Chains A and B, each alone.
Chain A
Amino acid sequence: MTFLDYAPAPESTAILTLKPSYGLFIGGEFVAGRGSPFQTISPATEVPIAEIASANAEDVDDAVKAARLAYETTWSRLSGADRGKYLFRIARLVQERARELAVAESLDNGKPIKESRDVDIPLVAAWFFYYAGWADKIDHAGLGANPRALGVAAQVIPWNFPLLMLAWKIAPALAAGNTVVLKPAETTPLTALLFAEILQQADLPAGVVNIVTGAGSTGELLVNHPDVNKVAFTGSTAVGRAIARSTAGTGKKLTLELGGKAANIVFDDAPMEQAIEGIVNGIFFNQGHVCCAGSRLLVQENVHDEVVERLKLRLSTLRVGDPLDKNTDVGAINSRAQLNRIRELSTVGEDEGATRWSPECVLPEKGFWFAPTIFTSVSTSHRIAREEVFGPVLSILTFRTPAEAVAKANNTPYGLSAGIWSDKGSKVLGVADQLRAGVVWINCFNQFDPASPFGGYKESGYGREGGRHGLAAYLQAADTNSVATITQIKKAQSK
């Protein structure tokens, strides 16, 4: 037995009391869905967890109607202070039930319990707490005095941070005075449904938050519903593009948080221990299922060999396995479809001439697993350097000068995030200035805070979530009609 061999330390699932099946959450109650129900499974074992309802067009319509009714009769009439009080209650309930939510998240998503317990759920509570305080301060959102809510927000979230993405969406929307219909991802609906129970405990007025589960088609019905005023989507660039197309001319205000292919730039004067940890955290956190993951490592040529060697050493110590084990560093891939995508792109990487390496690790037989993988000798034209893998796969490229690092970093249609590692302040700030990315982490990576705006340049989407900017995304200025529809414009032209 070496220091790397740990006895299993599984987190108990006894804290979870799940129902065998879950309906849709519409108008404050769980109701049956009219689409075909589906199973949500644990990606670590492929064992079904619960049966989930699927919302069809009528269900989505009911949910939007419930949100509209709640907006008009309740939520828009409450004072900001009272909206805030509900959000504070939600934040406190999330804190109280944090462990239960963490276990459910790891079970349904496959992420390590230490991440769901120490990162996801604490941030969920923080997000609600932060935006709770904004609810009675919207005059300070940056849009002038007396800004107005937009109305009903349609929100579609991904499977990589299920409850955290829910918090990012719902907390600012409610603080600003909107009501919500949210669709969780098909493979990770569980914590959203537990959250619906929390809303009942908080006594949130019926219809203020509605949750409709289902596949992509449910999301499509939701964002294209004629009675929603705001669409917020986090997910792939392909779907984001489709939403931008379908909402054009409808007057719906749109926030898109899409894919990324972040450059993580390591200079030869970087604090190396810290940088190695940051590189590992940047790409292997959450199995690399992170839109802002540092998936392109740009290493200054003279330290390339040293960095690769140290990375390999560090990767050999990562423990891959049971997400509920408290020692696990890398959990399960979220779905078979995603696993296939990661396998396919990795094969392409080899075929195109890059060198593939993974540490020796025994993967469980059942479930979806992919060993941490790095590619060296990658060139900028390789697909693994251009396309988002969304898995534990790192592509390593080199550069010689800061200008070359900047050129390579920006050589992507994406622009969500970037990392810079160097102990020289003027250099990192100079490089940060040149990067076309919405979040730049200097000597750190994957830092998140409700007070800090997050979102991308270019095809990584538009709009920001977090901070004052994230609040403003759910408001309109009192004296402008920023939500212009084709009908409104035609009317104005005919006058």
Chain B
Amino acid sequence: MTRLAVTKTYKLYIGGKFPRSESGHVYEILDSNGAFLANAAKASRKDARDAVVAARAAVSGWSAASGYNRGQVLYRIAELLEGRRAQFISEIQHSEGVSEAAASGQVDAAIDVWVWYAGWADKYVQVAGNGNPVTGPYFNISTPEATGVVAILAPQGSSLLGLVSVIAPALVSGNTVVVVASALAPLSAISLGEVLATSDVPGGVVNVLTGLAAEIAPWLASHGDVNALDLAGGEELDWIELQQLAAETLKRVRPPEPGIAAPTIERITFFTETKTVWHPKAMI
């Protein structure tokens, strides 16, 4: 007798909680052979707006944490991911139809990317900021800081590594994130939400929506409380229109990046604002 498995309900991850979609809609997630895997929540405009509210509320706490603290919190995610390897490998195998070795390689890479970005939290300011040699008796220093709420369209193809490669860099400087997971392979994104929920990341710092990016993205692109838009996985969408919507509130927009975003410090600094402070020095 084989044991009958208990299947998992996949929901959204908003403000540290796991609500169903307000719309009541779900859509079928199929494995690579076309067999039914699960129903994923189909996030609506209202869900997107709830996620932005949660993300906005989390900005002050997360961005005020020291770089050292954020670094440790991000590193702890990598520690937890390591303990959940089996689950992620299985999900990736099923939804992407890849071999166990390939799935395992993707999980390894995703964990290593977390660790790489975690290390930047207390360093990127020193690399990206600087004292400015102005003419005149002034102390003058420029430092980057988080821009605020970043809305991200995750890559469609790579369910965990692609997702991590766009979320982690935005978090480093203290931004909070609303991410729209891959429509075809969103299960890892929700499982990642479960990891985040049991880590030290405050609720609302990362919010995960599943559903169709084409439906959700316009609401995020035009939302007045979103500061930046990463169109990473949006190459199949009408992303120019999204960019135009974002122009209304002068969001910082990053164009689509097919494939998996490479880890770079530029992905961190893109979602920051540079503040320059002047102060006179007395002539002694």
Chain A residues engaging chain B, CB cutoff 8 angstroms? 81, 84-85, 88, 126, 129-130, 132-137, 140, 402-403, 406, 424-427, 429-434, 450-451, 467-468
Q: B144 an interface residue at 8 Å Cβ cutoff? A: no
Chain B residues engaging chain A, CB cutoff 8 angstroms? 67-68, 71-72, 75, 112, 115-116, 118-123, 125-127, 137, 139, 265, 279-284
Most buried by A among B115, B121, B284: B284
- List the B residue with the shortest CB-CB distance to A427: B282
Supposing A130-B68, A403-B284 touch, asked if A426 and B122 sit within 8 A by C-beta, the answer is no
Give the shortest distance, in Å, between A41 (CB) and chain B (any CB).
35
Q: How far is the CA of A279 from the CA of B13 in the complex (A)?
A: 51
Q: When the two chains form the complex, which single residue of A135, A137, A427, A429 contacts B120, counting CB atoms closer than 8 Å?
A: A137
- Whether A433 pairs with B120 at a CB distance below 8 angstroms is no
- Between A and B, 30 residue pairs with Cβ closer than 8 Å are A81-B112, A81-B115, A126-B68, A129-B68, A129-B71, A129-B72, A130-B71, A130-B123, A133-B71, A133-B118, A133-B123, A134-B119, A136-B116, A137-B119, A140-B127, A140-B265, A402-B284, A406-B284, A425-B280, A426-B281, A426-B282, A427-B282, A430-B281, A430-B283, A430-B284, A432-B281, A434-B284, A451-B122, A451-B123, A468-B127
Give the shortest distance, in Å, between B174 (CB) and chain A (any CB).
15
Give the shortest distance, in Å, between B111 (CB) and chain A (any CB).
10
Contacts of A140 in B (CB 8 A): 123, 127, 265
Q: How far is the CA of A159 from the CA of B263 in the complex (A)?
A: 41
Contacts of A467 in B (CB 8 A): 126
- Whether A429 pairs with B139 at a CB distance below 8 angstroms is yes
Q: How far is the CA of A468 from the CA of B124 in the complex (A)?
A: 10
Q: How far is the CA of A468 from the CA of B118 in the complex (A)?
A: 16
Q: How far is the CA of A134 from the CA of B122 in the complex (A)?
A: 10
Q: How far is the CA of A403 from the CA of B119 in the complex (A)?
A: 43
Supposing A129-B68, A429-B139, A451-B67 touch, asked if A136 and B282 sit within 8 A by C-beta, the answer is no
Known: A136-B116, A431-B284. 15 other contacts (CB 8 A): A81-B116, A136-B119, A137-B120, A140-B123, A424-B282, A426-B280, A429-B279, A429-B282, A430-B281, A430-B284, A451-B68, A451-B122, A451-B125, A468-B126, A468-B127
Closest A-B pairs by Cβ, 8 of them: A133-B119, A430-B282, A429-B281, A430-B281, A426-B280, A426-B282, A429-B139, A402-B284
Supposing A133-B118, A136-B119, A140-B265 touch, asked if A451 and B126 sit within 8 A by C-beta, the answer is yes
Contacts of B119 in A (CB 8 A): 84, 132-137
- Whether B282 pairs with A402 at a CB distance below 8 angstroms is yes
Contacts of B115 in A (CB 8 A): 81, 84-85, 88
Q: How far is the CA of A434 from the CA of B282 in the complex (A)?
A: 11
- Whether B122 pairs with A130 at a CB distance below 8 angstroms is yes
- List the B residue with the shortest CB-CB distance to A431: B284
Q: How far is the CA of A136 from the CA of B115 in the complex (A)?
A: 10
B contact patch SS? helix
- List the B residue with the shortest CB-CB distance to A85: B115
Most buried by B among A137, A406, A450: A137
Give the shortest distance, in Å, between A347 (CB) and chain B (any CB).
37
Contacts of A406 in B (CB 8 A): 284
Contacts of A402 in B (CB 8 A): 282, 284
Give the shortest distance, in Å, between B139 (CB) and chain A (any CB).
5
Contacts of B280 in A (CB 8 A): 425-426, 429
Give the shortest distance, in Å, between A125 (CB) and chain B (any CB).
9
- List the B residue with the shortest CB-CB distance to A469: B126
Q: When the two chains form the complex, which single residue of A84, A135, A433 contacts B281, counting CB atoms closer than 8 Å?
A: A433
Contacts of A451 in B (CB 8 A): 67-68, 122-123, 125-126
Q: How far is the CA of A427 from the CA of B122 in the complex (A)?
A: 30
Contacts of B282 in A (CB 8 A): 402, 424, 426-427, 429-431
Q: How far is the CA of A136 from the CA of B119 in the complex (A)?
A: 9
Give the shortest distance, in Å, between B107 (CB) and chain A (any CB).
15
Q: How far is the CA of A85 from the CA of B280 in the complex (A)?
A: 44
- List the A residue with the shortest CB-CB distance to B265: A140
Give the shortest distance, in Å, between A381 (CB) and chain B (any CB).
24
Q: How far is the CA of A308 from the CA of B281 in the complex (A)?
A: 29
Q: How far is the CA of A81 from the CA of B71 in the complex (A)?
A: 15
Q: How far is the CA of A140 from the CA of B127 in the complex (A)?
A: 7
Contacts of A403 in B (CB 8 A): 284
Q: How far is the CA of A429 from the CA of B136 in the complex (A)?
A: 13
- Whether B284 pairs with A425 at a CB distance below 8 angstroms is no
Q: How far is the CA of A133 from the CA of B72 in the complex (A)?
A: 10
Give the shortest distance, in Å, between A470 (CB) and chain B (any CB).
11
Give the shortest distance, in Å, between A325 (CB) and chain B (any CB).
29
- Whether B279 pairs with A468 at a CB distance below 8 angstroms is no
Q: When the two chains form the complex, which single residue of A88, A134, A426 contacts B123, counting CB atoms closer than 8 Å?
A: A134
Q: How far is the CA of A406 from the CA of B282 in the complex (A)?
A: 13
Give the shortest distance, in Å, between B170 (CB) and chain A (any CB).
17
Q: How far is the CA of A132 from the CA of B279 in the complex (A)?
A: 35
Q: How far is the CA of A431 from the CA of B139 in the complex (A)?
A: 12
Q: How far is the CA of A33 from the CA of B112 in the complex (A)?
A: 40
Contacts of A426 in B (CB 8 A): 279-282
Contacts of B265 in A (CB 8 A): 137, 140
Contacts of B127 in A (CB 8 A): 140, 468
Q: How far is the CA of A45 from the CA of B33 in the complex (A)?
A: 75
Contacts of A129 in B (CB 8 A): 68, 71-72, 75
Q: How far is the CA of A134 from the CA of B120 in the complex (A)?
A: 8
Q: How far is the CA of A362 from the CA of B26 in the complex (A)?
A: 76
Give the shortest distance, in Å, between B137 (CB) and chain A (any CB).
7
Q: How far is the CA of A133 from the CA of B280 in the complex (A)?
A: 35
- List the A residue with the shortest CB-CB distance to B113: A81
- Whether B116 pairs with A88 at a CB distance below 8 angstroms is no
Q: How far is the CA of A434 from the CA of B75 in the complex (A)?
A: 41
Q: How far is the CA of A283 from the CA of B283 in the complex (A)?
A: 29
Contacts of A432 in B (CB 8 A): 281
Contacts of B120 in A (CB 8 A): 133, 137
Q: How far is the CA of A159 from the CA of B112 in the complex (A)?
A: 37
Give the shortest distance, in Å, between A433 (CB) and chain B (any CB).
6
- Whether A425 pairs with B126 at a CB distance below 8 angstroms is no
Give the shortest distance, in Å, between B164 (CB) and chain A (any CB).
15
Give the shortest distance, in Å, between B73 (CB) and chain A (any CB).
12
Q: How far is the CA of A381 from the CA of B249 in the complex (A)?
A: 66
- Whether A430 pairs with B122 at a CB distance below 8 angstroms is no
Contacts of A137 in B (CB 8 A): 116, 119-120, 123, 265
Q: How far is the CA of A137 from the CA of B280 in the complex (A)?
A: 35
Contacts of B139 in A (CB 8 A): 429
Contacts of B122 in A (CB 8 A): 130, 133, 450-451
Contacts of B116 in A (CB 8 A): 81, 136-137
